[in-house]
Structure 1
Amino acid sequence: MRALLLLGSMLLSALASASPMLLLTQQQAPYSVQMADGSQQGLALQTIRCALQRSGQTAVIRFVSWSRAQRLVESGEADGYFPASRNPQRDERALWIGPAAQQQWRWYLRRDSRLDPAAPEFIQQAKVGAYAGSNMHQWLLDHGYHISVSPPGHDQMLDVLLAGRADAVLAANLAMEALITSRGAENRVRSVLLQDKPLGLYLARHFLVQQPQLAEQLQQQMQRCYQLPR
């Protein structure tokens, strides 16, 4: 009986590994980008593809909105999402594997603003924002900030800031700085560091039950791929 159970477990594992994983991400330069010709690139995407290949795994990567990506993984319609920083709510349903890319959470304010995010009164006085579904948005909620905007995508954060719909927005540094440069807004915005918050891959715990060794394999390879020169 034990032999049959072991054989059944091995067959299920083999079948699971033979099927490509479905991983979801969002359009967020420079971490994950889908080009007009359909090709995919980015700092986090490159690291994750490298780790998958070294682990002998195949994956289909699809671009969707960030909130939808997390909902689909929670409902079992997809296996994982990236690039994501950790928080307790995500840890309950999925396992974080990383890092895949570095990230700083930074406050972005208009250049002429006199507000200081480090001042005690900032949390009561400032109207702030982060994009919907992001860890930054959850962090603002958890810490009692006055959230005035929560657009569906990261790339709208600069627009709401410059339009005065928020006094400050909390955003990922590389993505926001790429956006600021592309819009020629370097002289209109300043930033203040909040914390380092590396990005990684979240895999659904119900998916990992089928392949109990996968998380450890991917974690080992992710560390190797993350250290490769870019």
Structure 2
Amino acid sequence: MSLRVIIAACSVLLCCAGSSTAAPLLLTQQQAPYAMQTDNGQQKGIALQAIRCAMSRSGLQASIRFISWSRAQRLVETGAADGYFPASRNAQRDELAQWFGPAAPQQWRWYLRRDNPLNPLDADFVQRARVGAYAGSNMHQWLEDHGYQISVSPPGHDQMLDVLLAGRADAVLAANLAMDELIAARGVGHKVKSVLAQDKPLGLYLSRSFLLRQGPEFAARLQQALQHCYRAPV
């Protein structure tokens, strides 16, 4: 074997080794208390901290970028990013990526104005109520799959409170921690009520191409690390 061939082979091996340990690009959205970025660039949040902790324990230092939720999922699907969070599971996402979790607790809750007599637990709620969830969310997909009358689908989670109070929907389906914090911050708790829909813990989706580059043991190592880093509700 010539020296040139040996050098080329070594270069390929070094390149492949480097790609498996390169900092993964993970995408998220601004959503307290799960993931937040301050004006000075500081990143925090219960899901963000759990995922950063798990990545570090798995031997990787993740790069985390804040963008719109719909765009985050598209970039992972096209291979421009390695993962997105915090995300609950659904069949469509499972086809394209692998879920790791839980990384943060979440309840899906129906939020209605206090003066609205509709009950989300009634059998005719699906036909009678105008509902909404933010675009690109698992909640929005669930509403579509179950035949609800979707009247609003704003691009961000926090805008769900605005459309609800404005009367553009009878009820919105939202993540409880994020919505409850927003309601408290705006001082409108006396105007809103909520009803539990289902428990849907949040986690991290990683692209299958990224996992393939990490080797066969990485997925189990990351899941174990996430179990250590996850802060379960008390």
Bin of the TM-score, shorter chain as denominator length: over 0.9
The two structures, once aligned, show a CA RMSD in angstroms of 1.9
Contact 1:26/1:32 (8 A) holds in 2? yes
Deviation at 1:17, TM superposition (A): 3.0
- Structure having the higher Rg: 2
Structure 1 partner of 2:107 = 104
State the Cα deviation string for residues 159-187 of structure 1 (Å, max 9, x = none): 00000000000000000001101111100
Q: Hey, what does 1:3 align to over in structure 2? A: none
**Equivalent pair of 2:105/2:233 in contact (CA under 8 Å):** no
Corresponding position: 1:222 with 2:230? no
Correspondence 1:1-230 to 2 at 5 A: 14-212=17-215, 213-227=217-231
Deviation of 1:8 (Å):
10
**Aligned equivalents of 2:20 and 2:77: distance in 1?**
20
Contact 1:13–1:211 (8 Å) recurs in 2:
no
Which amino acid letter does the alignment assign opposite residue 220 of structure 2? E
Does the 8 Å contact 1:110/1:190 carry over to 2? yes
Residue 57 to residue 229, structure 1, CA distance change in 2 (3 Å): farther
Aligned-residue identity in percent: 68
Post-superposition CA distance 1:20-69 (Å, at most 9, x none): 10000000000000011100000000100110111110111000000000
| Letter in structure 2 aligned against 1:216 | A
Residue 7 of structure 2 corresponds to none
Q: Aligned-pair distance for 1:10? A: 7.2
Once the 2 structures are TM-superposed, how far is the Cα of residue 14 of structure 1 from its aligned partner? 2.4
Distance 2:18 2:170 in 1: 52
- The AA in structure 2 aligned to 1:194 is A
SS of corresponding position for 1:62:
strand
The size of the alignment, in residue pairs, is: 225
Report the secondary structure of 2:79's partner residue.
coil
- Structure 1: segments with no counterpart, 5+ residues: 1-6
**Residues 127 and 146, structure 1, Cα contact 8 Å, conserved in 2:** yes
Change (3 A) 1:188 1:46: same
Contact persistence 2:104–2:232 (CA under 8 A) = no
Q: Deviation string for 1:92-149 (max 9, x for gaps)?
A: 0000001100000000000111000010110000000000000000000000000000
Seen in structure 2, the aligned counterparts of structure 1 residues 172 and 228 have a Cα distance that, compared at 3 Å, is: closer
Runs of 4+ off more than 6 Å: 7-10
Cα pair distance change 1:62/1:127, threshold 3 Å: same
Give the TM-score normalised by structure 2.
0.92
- CA shift, 1:11, in A, is 5.1
- Taking structure 1 as reference, are residues 93 and 129 closer, same or farther at Cα in structure 2, changes over 3 Å only? same
